[in-house]
Copies of this chain bind each other. A is one copy, B any other.
């Protein structure tokens, strides 16, 4: 896992530099919202989605600058979703990655606007010429990301998650919830390399299947961490899902079966990448990492 850790750190450093450049501090009286956007973006995190973009792009030798901008756009979407999900009307979370959440550090109005600003800028970044010389590729990136992030994807998933507090979900429903809420963006992260490279349908399909398994394994592992880990390790309060009566894989499957499935699905994720041979080793490492991480 040494190899993966280095690659994750490298991806995080590169995307952090890109984000710092794409969202510079401003001087006008709107500076507060930009500060909040930067605060949300620069809170650390493992940058798994950027890692997925960069390493799916490397399968096809996509130029680094376009991959980095795409990774930054995804991180903007991911960060916006955390800012809005943390709001009092949603998950009401005071902490995020060990720091005050954006509405606690700033205020609710600024947090809503910062999320809106990040969501909007993601599409600005993707549609700019620097991301790819071919406008058809840029359009495809926007179309795919918007599809993954909107009401048929992440936004819809968050709605289901909120509704689930009033209803018991079965395994099928909870799987659909995960696919929409977190799976769709992970899917886009993995497909981004293929889109940037205008790769074959077969190559893109392999990445889609890998991403589906990866996202599912990731979520099951996340649910396991919520019941098993400690706040000191994860940087956020644990046992929150249970307290909130949230539908989780662990609640439906139990700890042992959840762990067994996570392992199985993670192995299947790795095998989806056979056509890329050893070039996909880091992506295979990632599939293993998501179910063995401690935070």
A residues with CB within 8 A of B: 26, 28-30, 32-34, 37, 80, 84, 87, 89-90, 107-110, 112-113, 115-117, 119-121, 123-124, 126-128, 134-136, 138-140, 142-143, 146-147, 149-151, 155-160, 162-164, 167, 173, 176, 180
Contacts and interface: CB of A to CB of B under 8 A. Distances in A.
A27 B215 CA distance: 24
A159 B121 contact: no
Contacts of A176: 28
A135 B139 contact: yes
21 contacts: A29-B160, A29-B167, A30-B156, A84-B112, A84-B116, A87-B112, A89-B108, A90-B112, A109-B162, A112-B112, A117-B156, A119-B119, A120-B149, A120-B151, A121-B151, A124-B147, A127-B127, A134-B135, A135-B135, A135-B136, A142-B142
- Chain B CB within 10 Å, residue with most, of A34, A37, A89, A163: A89
A188 to B, nearest CB: 12
Closest 10 CB pairs of A and B: A30-B156, A89-B108, A124-B146, A127-B142, A33-B159, A120-B150, A135-B136, A117-B151, A127-B143, A135-B135
Contacts of A34: 151, 156
B150 A127 contact: no
A155 B89 contact: no
B119 A151 contact: no
Contacts of A28: 156, 160, 176
Nearest to A181: B30
Contacts of A123: 123, 142, 146
Given A32-B163, A117-B151, 18 more contacts: A28-B160, A28-B176, A29-B173, A30-B163, A30-B180, A84-B112, A116-B119, A116-B155, A117-B155, A117-B156, A119-B120, A120-B146, A120-B149, A120-B155, A127-B127, A135-B135, A135-B138, A139-B142
